[in-house]
Structure 1
């Protein structure tokens, strides 16, 4: 190969490398974007540009905006997380995992059931559990740790051979501490009641943002959620989720704000389909 051509190719490769490096640095200096889509369905875009979908119940969710009931409207997805096996959290997760050919991480027992039943292939249903930490995008990327959640987890599956619904083991419900590339921490609490070790989670993980259920009945009430914010978790921000989709989830943001009292400024009032940056 002529020397001049070789030099040109090397210069082009170096320029491309520098451009990619600059783009990477720009992404790392970005923000964390949180898009709430109703119930516990949240799409997070990390400062490094990775897109994580948590608890996707979209197509039949009465609070999900019509524009997001088509799963393709979510855009690219790099990872799916599911806190437990109830339909309003796992409903659209397997289809998203298959659509984007990305793993759906969830409680070990739930994913064991999902793989065994053939809902997802084993490679798209990796297992981990409470206290476990994954780094799905490499050692310098996002860190995700599974935490305790005070709830239940059953997986309802329609058997194609009988057309009847069956209830299967759904593993232990979890929450997720998601630490971004820049250190910002989001705690998606999943479905949970109030429990004392939230104090430990607050002291040890120090979450900046809570995605906190307030609906009551199956999860914390607004008063319980406010107690967790003020006395246990002490975040900078609290975004209420998991309310208003069915009649028994009657907790409201007004009640949550009132219960927060002097810390009401921590609450982020977001409607489904709206997003906030940090």
Structure 2
């Protein structure tokens, strides 16, 4: 992390709330309110439920991850209208399951931008005609792209499955299609701040390698269980292997099987180096 960013984080008392919510920040001073609109030089992270986030970079670029919004029971009604996200510059999808991919093609078309996703998945997307090839670029684990100037995205391992279900327009039936392997993303912003979106994943020991090599400042970590790590698993990964400055729990509560609770995650992380930042959908933080 560069000296300027470290100083900004200290002065800002770790994190401050945007005006759209009141997050619970254990063991931190009361956050200050900010005026509306993007604050230049800051990173804004808005949770929209499940694994969907809107991240506004210090340079004002908007990144959206895993946009399952219209049918997501946790997404605030406002954001079920995709245009409410504003102009999206970068679209990242970790894998083809509907609760990560469902609204991604529509969002790519609305903003006339590429949808970045695992390489084999995007080849399937293009071959099925879901998106044209120019909007379904291919890259893979350890590959790094620069989708907009100053922002770098690296695909990393995720311990999960991947399949794409798409409705055949001729038969009206849902069909399974190969979608390669899932990924997570390490996103480095213009000022050097790094966010690791883990996607859907179970425990794997190379989480420690990702932490040591890429050194993310903020980790977006699934805690729901059943399909991903539960709160105890995720707490172990953060506490023992990753030890980032900040962690935001995600991927819980939208599906009855995702029973993980953020309070259990907080307990599992403990009082070490990481501050857990709990959000409700529609709430956000600025770093």
Q: TM-score, normalised by structure 1?
A: 0.88
Which segments of 5 or more consecutive residues in structure 2 lack a partner in the other structure?
1-37
Partner of 1:271: 280
How many residues end up aligned between the 2 structures? 250
Provide the C-alpha distance between the structure 2 equivalents of 1:42 and 1:28, rounded to a whole number of angstroms. 18
Alignment of 1:21-170 (within 5 A): 30-138=41-149, 141-170=150-179
Partner of 1:188: 197
Larger proportion of helix = 1
Q: Which has the larger radius of gyration?
A: 1
Report the TM-score when normalising by structure 2: 0.85
Which residue of structure 2 aligns with residue 252 of structure 1? 261
Q: Provide structure 1 residue ranges, at least 5 long, that are not aligned to the other structure.
A: 1-26
**Alpha-carbon deviation of 1:263?**
3.2
Check the 8 A contact 1:28/1:48 in 2, yes or no. no
Task: Look up the SS of the partner of 2:120 in the other structure.
Answer: helix
* Higher RCO (C-alpha 8 Å, min separation 6): 2
SS of 1:135 mapped into structure 2:
strand
How far residue 29 of structure 1 moved from its aligned partner, in angstroms, is: 5.7
Matched with 1:178 is: 187
> How many angstroms does 1:79 deviate by?
1.3
Cα shift readout 1:197-232 (whole Å, capped 9, x = no counterpart): 001001000000000000001000101101111111
Alignment of 1:9-28 (within 5 A): none
Q: Distance in 1 between matches of 2:161 and 2:137?
A: 20
Q: Aligned residue for 1:15?
A: none
| 1:253–1:269 CA contact under 8 A, matched in 2 | yes
Please give the alpha-carbon distance, in whole angstroms, between the structure 1 residues aligned to 2:117 and 2:270: 35
**What are the equivalent positions in structure 2 for 1:159-238 lying under 5 Å apart?**
159-238=168-247
What do you get for the CA RMSD once the two structures are aligned?
A: 1.3
Contact 1:187 1:210 in 2 (8 A): yes
Contact map agreement 1:113 1:169 (CA 8 A) in 2: yes
Cα distance between partner residues in 2 of 1:164 and 1:227: 41
Q: 1:130-164: per-residue Cα shift (whole Å, max 9, x none)?
A: 000001113xx101000000000000000001001
